Chain A
Amino acid sequence: SYELTQPPSVSVSPGQTASITCSGDKLGDKYAYWYQQKPGQSPILVIYQDNKRPSGIPERFSGSNSGNTATLTISGTQAMDEADYSCQAWDGSTAVFGGGTKLTVL
Chain B
Amino acid sequence: QVQLQQSGPGLVKPSQTLSLTCVISGDSVSSNTAAWNWIRRSPSRGLEWLGRTYYRSKWFNNYAVSMKSRITINPDTSKNQFSLQLNSVTPEDTAMYYCARDPAAGGPFDYWGQGTLVTVSS
> Chain A interface (Cβ within 8 Å of chain B)?
1, 31, 33, 35, 37, 42-45, 48-49, 54, 84, 86, 88, 90, 93-100
Contact = CB atoms under 8 A, between A and B. Distances in A.
A1 B65 contact: yes
Interface residues of B, number: 23
A100 B64 CA distance: 19
Contacts of B64: 94
A36 to B, nearest CB: 12
A103 to B, nearest CB: 14
Contact of A100 (B46, B62, B65, B109): B46
Contacts of A44: 112
Majority secondary structure, A binding face? strand
Contacts of A99: 45-46
Contacts of A93: 62
Contacts of A97: 39, 46-49
A39 B87 CA distance: 28
B106 interface: yes
A98 B45 CA distance: 9
Given A94-B62, A94-B65, A48 B107 contact: yes
30 contacts: A31-B107, A33-B108, A33-B109, A35-B109, A37-B47, A42-B98, A42-B113, A42-B114, A43-B47, A43-B98, A43-B112, A45-B108, A45-B109, A49-B107, A84-B46, A86-B46, A86-B47, A88-B47, A88-B108, A94-B64, A94-B65, A95-B37, A95-B39, A95-B52, A96-B49, A97-B39, A97-B47, A99-B45, A100-B46, A100-B47
